[in-house]
Structure 1
Amino acid sequence: MTFVRIRRLVLHSLLLLAACAALPVEWAAAQGTTGSMQISWEVRNRFRLFREERDFQLHADTLRNQTILASEQTLGVQSDGRGWARNTVGRLCVDMAGKFSEPCTRDSVKESYLTPTEHPVTVRLTGEVPVGAVCAWTFDDGDGPRQSNFDCAEPVNFRAVYGKRTVAIVDVTSGAEAPQRVTTDITVRDVLIAGLGDSIASGEGNPDRPVALSDEGFCYRSYIGSDTGQYYRPSRAGFKGGRACESYESLQAWQAQGAQWLSAPCHRSLYSYQTRTAIAMAVQYPHIAVTYLPLACSGATIAEGLLGKQQAKECLTTKTSTNCQGSVAAQMTELREAMAAVKKRQPGRKLDLVLLSIGANDIGFSNLVADVIVENDTERALFKRGGILGSVDDSRSALVRELPAGFGKLREALKPLLSGDLSRVIFTAYANPTFSNGAPCPGGPAGFDVHPAFNANPRRLANVANFVESEFLPQLKAIALCQGGVLCRNPQADRMTYVDAHQQAFATHGFCARASTDPEFDRACFSPKGQSFDPDIVAASSQPMLCGLGASQFRAYLPRARWIRDANDSYFAAMTYPQGISATIQPADIHDATWGILSAVYGGAIHPTAEGHAAMADAALPAAAAVLRLGAEAEVTSEPLGEPVQTR
């Protein structure tokens, strides 16, 4: 039997050699060179929240061979500090009220945003392509081949049917040489990602279009600070009303000149680490498309924001109208409704990933910030009456008694949407905002003198810094990972993917960090002694800055040493008049002392800058890619089969 098998093997080999010898000489030569050509393909404008490819290409160009942080710094300089998002925010598949466009017209083609049926793909022949060669392309997804002829140097665009494999074949003809065939499979993976959480998740502190500042002053009343009980800070450019405290103007006229956000009610921003992670993922992996649902909302807690509705941060104000929602729907409600719409049209489509940061508001972190920076007794009494001042003891109690239970409820709400696998929740930790050069910030008025009553109290600041570093962040990690005695029903399934690699970098970039490379306006006008503004109300009414430069020269998105916005930054970037605060302290007069306080902190004081968010995204992206098992998609080119086309 063995002898017979050997004879058959030898006979088969001889027949194969004879067949090869009978091949035309030019065909055999073609087989030897085909391996140097490959079909390369990528999904175009693959971050699907962007309507126009130019917005995606802006990020693709700056993310090439550098980090998200370096990209943000490059874009900041390119935009002269005005920010890349100021134009992009008007070209999205979601409106400023948070409603997704169905359908959404992307690059002149109407698409379903939640349930795409096809994706735009660009295909190229790469490698050692003969000069002047002609390519006969065939794309076949099972519904009949589509054919076209082009110069091989030209890219070919087609729309790949979602959920189907498209076989791409190109026959390459060059002069008298025999045609060569290269083939590959094209299958687009559309990744569905939701962003959930609080102000860190939403991008608070980084309006997509910062408030335009006037060089002239605007009057606020104050309980302290001068004999007249008034002080001046930069006004809003374009505001035509009275700037003196004796005048009365409507809130709507003032708000029409405010900052613009991806979502004003939630202070949701394209600069958020969640959005930057999703954009960078789309750039890095050219064989996928990313459908992204930004749902995070500033001020959210687990109970009020994620699982239940919450108060809106601001009214959505345009130059012609004001839309005050009053409250914002629960993020989990919005996500469930979106997934119900998805399942109705595409039953097999699932939620692939959740980006999440939550917990700071649950322990009253913003109240701790207010306790640190509000120094004057009158203002402290006002904030205490409004429930805005807190203490470390209060936060510690909430951290131990309430936060673990809240996470338990959140886990149960997320499981049905993620097939019970919470490792697909990328929980990105907070960074300690109070460190610079590895040590706690010293405190004082620097960075907070936008209001006369602000002064970061050194003792209270040190207490908060220590609490955050030694108690809050470790406990939050234990809760997310079901460790340290935290009870989870099923630790293996309930454990989230935890990201904290960015925390070490933030230790040198807290709110008090300064450098000689900071923007010129910052170095000249934001005094390290807390003496940035002219206390003379007569002089300050026309020029409030002691440095002599106009406030309009401030640039929110230029690179700087601090990755945490201080109160001065918050006022100069956003100048928020929040409608979501307690009605007991919300005044009608835009010059009221309360607005002076709130406008300095509610626009993102002690929140990451765009650079800080980019650093967080650099940490989150590898974890997200690992959970999604991305990697093969990064190989832009495919190996050719090397099958020649025989000519007669």
Structure 2
Amino acid sequence: MSRMGVVRTERSGARHAGSRASLCAVVFGLAMAAGAAEAAPAIQWEVANRFPLFRNEDHFRALAGLYADLPLADRQNQPVMALEVELEKRADARQLGKAFGDPATIWRFGWASALARSTCFSATNRGHWGCKLANGEDYVGARKSDILASITEAPAGRQCQWLVNGSVAATAACDTAQIRLTDIPIGTAFTLSVKADGSTLAEAPDQTIRPITILGMGDSFASGEGNPDKAAVLGTDVNNFQESSHLPGESGWRGRLRLYPLRYKHNFDKSFGIGALWINQQCHRSLYSHQLKAALALALEAPHASVTYLGYGCTGAEVFEGLLGYWVARDDVPKDRPGKAGQYDASPQVMRALRDLCPLPLTGYNRFSPPAHFSWDTDLKRCAAFKRKPDILLLSIGGNDIGFSRVIAGEALAASSNFLSLRRTAERLWIKGAGPITFQDATAAESSLAERYRVLAQAFERLLGLTASQVIQTGYPQMLHTGSGTCPHAPSGEAGTAGMDLHEIFRISKPTTGPESVTFVDGLNSKIPTLVGWQVVSDFAAAFKGHALCQPGMADGSNAPDGLRFPISNPTGQRWTPFSPPAWQAYRPRQRWFVTPNDAFLAANTMRTLAGSGGDPHMNGRAQPVLAATLSGSFHPNALGQAAMGDGVLKALRQKLGLPAPTAPAP
């Protein structure tokens, strides 16, 4: 049984003459004199599913059991990381339990693959608003919930009546481990009491299920980019994408022979094969997001709360393209067709929040494609009332606004003229068609953030009713700091390609890249707090030192395939070194906390049929491996990196909401 809060009780038979305080003093004195004290029965209770984003209560209860087994120090200081590592370790050992389904599937794809299709987010209505919980309540604005209750020092062999607000709600043996009490009001005080043989054993007045509503918004670091809820399914079939054709306008190119693994059940006439799954395919939003993980951890450690999490983070988002304006992100999702709802939604994240929070009808909030003219400050209106007023907004924004992805394009792609067209293709994918910039250019652009943040704060308050004191923004982690230096560079050869040897275009070729990256991240994290009126969390950035993009090895010291070297095949695809692609475990704990291009290809494998190819991926030539890495989350925090960020956010959440860290070992 997971740890639950102890509430006020009274002893059986304490209703005779004389004050309760005097009686308690006498009883306590007699017990001390006899050398032993008799413990009084006490009611304990917890909300059964405190994180109803997971519609299946068994999923939450399984996570709660794992959380309860964590050491107290971990639950106090790093519960998000400790839980993530425990989940991944048990998935690897095939010991996660029946709530997670087939152990072999979880071993391959990670714990989130069992939960991703049973959440309160619908791809077809593009939101959380239509979700119904098991008890018939709406996910957003639920009024009732079930609780699990028990009584300590329960008398054996006796029947107990459980009363809610004086009415009998259930009858069971007094020493029942946990009893379910249904339809308990959320946000309204209630009284629990337990009777046996007509006498009150214990009472707990003025109890409340605290509703907590947390919004998550921002860029790819907020969405969880690079960490699909279920990884793509790779097989051992091979194809030499590099030599199959040339990009438009190229001729005479001769490259090295490189055979790449294809997805399982690929069919070049119809599809690439079995691809990765995300909670939201268009935004690459996943359960591994640090915002979601922090909200989940809060629910796990707050037994009397019900945490509603509404996530909107989207890869590539900026303040005016993404949060306050329309932003397409990935365009490889279906749009609405007659008689069939699609998944395409380019609407601003603030509009999506209004869609979920405002009572029906959704008029004005359910437009998924950009209109001819749109202005957030005139076209977005706050609804008259919210189903549930948001308590906290978690935010990650600013990196794309100053062009950090454009910096990556300039620092991590080879400059050789042999790859000029291919390099430009990758740059366009990352940076919306603009050219690469330097760290100095991005630093100079930081001055533009002040106005963007000011406008954003205005929108949060006017449209969502959120003041600056209710916003928590994350900074950015260190990517290339190895703890004793930075990731190596080299203009040619293997050095400088650790984790990115799937294609010759990827390389850290400048000696200044590592040191300038460290200086840039430190400077950005110190700059953001001077530009905003809300809390900024960035102390987690130091924890990333020693977990850089280029660092090899598994966290447990084993010799399992770590993916820092891309698998190479013989011409038939029957012999792969150093490992076979189907053996890749996307979420086994590794030393690095970032997604490398190799990782991105093996886990998410986002492909795209380029214009002029006639729908045949063969005709996309050597661009496909670059697409599969570039569009799949390279250079983003992996599941462990997201967990480290989540622990930083959780500490701020506790402070904002007045919730303490755990103070006692779990039973």
Shared fold (TM-score greater than 0.5)? yes
Q: Distance in 2 between matches of 1:226 and 1:522?
A: 33
1:138 pairs, out of 160, 163, 176, with 163
Q: Distance in 1 between matches of 2:617 and 2:458?
A: 44
Aligned residues of 2:595 and 2:637 also touching (Cα < 8 A): yes
Q: 1:636–1:287: structure 2 CA closer, same or farther, 3 Å change rule?
A: farther
Partner residue, 1:69? 81
Note if 1:354 corresponds to 2:383. Answer: no
The CA deviation at 1:100 is 3.6
Aligned residues of 1:439 and 1:507 also touching (Cα < 8 A): no
Partner residue, 1:447? 499
Note if 1:311 corresponds to 2:323. Answer: no
1:42 pairs, out of 39, 46, 63, with 46
Q: Deviations over 1:106-159 (max 9, x none)?
A: 3x4221111112011112112x2222233222111xxx7234332111233222
Corresponding letter in the other structure for 2:185: V
Q: Deviations over 1:33-73 (max 9, x none)?
A: 88621111110111011111111122212222332212111
2:403 pairs, out of 352, 356, 364, with 364
Corresponding letter in the other structure for 2:446: L
Aligned residues of 1:89 and 1:208 also touching (Cα < 8 A): yes
Structure label with greater radius of gyration = 1
Q: Distance in 2 between matches of 1:225 and 1:425?
A: 55
Q: Distance in 1 between matches of 2:48 and 2:472?
A: 26
Q: What SS is found at the alignment partner of 2:194?
A: strand
Q: Distance in 1 between matches of 2:547 and 2:340?
A: 38
Aligned residues of 2:282 and 2:329 also touching (Cα < 8 A): yes
Q: What SS is found at the alignment partner of 2:539?
A: coil
User: Is the deviation greater in 204-213 or in 116-125?
Assistant: 116-125
Q: Distance in 1 between matches of 2:661 and 2:82?
A: 25
The CA deviation at 1:478 is 2.4
1:504 pairs, out of 525, 542, 546, with 542
Note if 1:185 corresponds to 2:211. Answer: no
Aligned counterparts, 1:37-436, within 5 A? 37-64=41-68, 65=70, 66=74, 67-80=79-92, 81=107, 82-97=109-124, 99-100=126-127, 102=129, 104-106=131-133, 108-126=134-152, 128-140=153-165, 145-154=167-176, 155-158=178-181, 159-173=183-197, 180-221=201-242, 227=254, 231-239=258-266, 241=267, 249-250=268-269, 253-254=271-272, 257-316=274-333, 328-341=346-359, 349-375=388-414, 376-384=416-424, 386=428, 387=433, 389-392=435-438, 393-400=440-447, 402-417=448-463, 419=465, 421-436=467-482
Corresponding letter in the other structure for 1:236: R
Q: 1:219–1:121: structure 2 CA closer, same or farther, 3 Å change rule?
A: same
Corresponding letter in the other structure for 1:296: G
Corresponding letter in the other structure for 1:288: A
Partner residue, 1:7? none
Q: Deviations over 1:397-417 (max 9, x none)?
A: 3222x2221111111111135
Partner residue, 1:487? none
Aligned residues of 1:216 and 1:542 also touching (Cα < 8 A): yes
Partner residue, 1:12? none
Q: 1:323–1:179: structure 2 CA closer, same or farther, 3 Å change rule?
A: closer
Higher relative contact order (CA 8 A, sep 6+): 1
Count the aligned residue pairs.
569
Aligned residues of 2:317 and 2:329 also touching (Cα < 8 A): no
1:576 pairs, out of 606, 628, 638, with 606
The CA deviation at 1:442 is 1.1
Q: What SS is found at the alignment partner of 1:207?
A: coil
Partner residue, 2:635? 606
The CA deviation at 1:589 is 3.7
Q: Distance in 2 between matches of 1:457 and 1:228?
A: 19
Q: 1:572–1:345: structure 2 CA closer, same or farther, 3 Å change rule?
A: same
Q: Where does structure 2 lack aligned partners over 5 or more consecutive residues?
A: 1-15, 32-36, 93-106, 361-381, 490-495
Q: 1:303–1:540: structure 2 CA closer, same or farther, 3 Å change rule?
A: farther
Aligned residues of 1:42 and 1:636 also touching (Cα < 8 A): no
Aligned residues of 2:224 and 2:287 also touching (Cα < 8 A): yes
Q: Where does structure 1 lack aligned partners over 5 or more consecutive residues?
A: 1-17, 242-248, 481-494, 638-648
Q: TM-score, normalised by structure 1?
A: 0.80
The CA deviation at 1:203 is 0.2
Q: Distance in 1 between matches of 2:477 and 2:443?
A: 18
User: Is the deviation greater in 195-204 or in 303-312?
Assistant: 303-312
Partner residue, 2:8? none
The CA deviation at 1:378 is 4.1
1:557 pairs, out of 587, 600, 606, with 587
Q: Distance in 2 between matches of 1:57 and 1:559?
A: 23
Partner residue, 1:469? 521
Q: Distance in 2 between matches of 1:286 and 1:562?
A: 33
Q: Distance in 1 between matches of 2:574 and 2:18?
A: 88
Aligned residues of 2:326 and 2:346 also touching (Cα < 8 A): yes
Aligned residues of 1:220 and 1:230 also touching (Cα < 8 A): no
Q: Distance in 2 between matches of 1:163 and 1:550?
A: 53
Corresponding letter in the other structure for 1:452: E
The CA deviation at 1:373 is 2.0
User: Is the deviation greater in 179-188 or in 432-441?
Assistant: 179-188
Q: Deviations over 1:227-276 (max 9, x none)?
A: 4676321111121x2xxxxxxx34x511x511000100000000010110
2:597 pairs, out of 538, 555, 567, with 567
Q: 1:453–1:51: structure 2 CA closer, same or farther, 3 Å change rule?
A: same
Corresponding letter in the other structure for 1:219: N
Corresponding letter in the other structure for 1:203: G
The CA deviation at 1:172 is 3.4
Aligned residues of 1:506 and 1:563 also touching (Cα < 8 A): yes
Q: 1:346–1:364: structure 2 CA closer, same or farther, 3 Å change rule?
A: closer
Q: What SS is found at the alignment partner of 1:89?
A: coil
Aligned residues of 1:69 and 1:614 also touching (Cα < 8 A): yes
Q: What is the percentage of aligned positions where both structures have the same residue?
A: 28
Q: Distance in 1 between matches of 2:207 and 2:654?
A: 20
Q: Distance in 1 between matches of 2:54 and 2:648?
A: 23
Corresponding letter in the other structure for 1:213: L
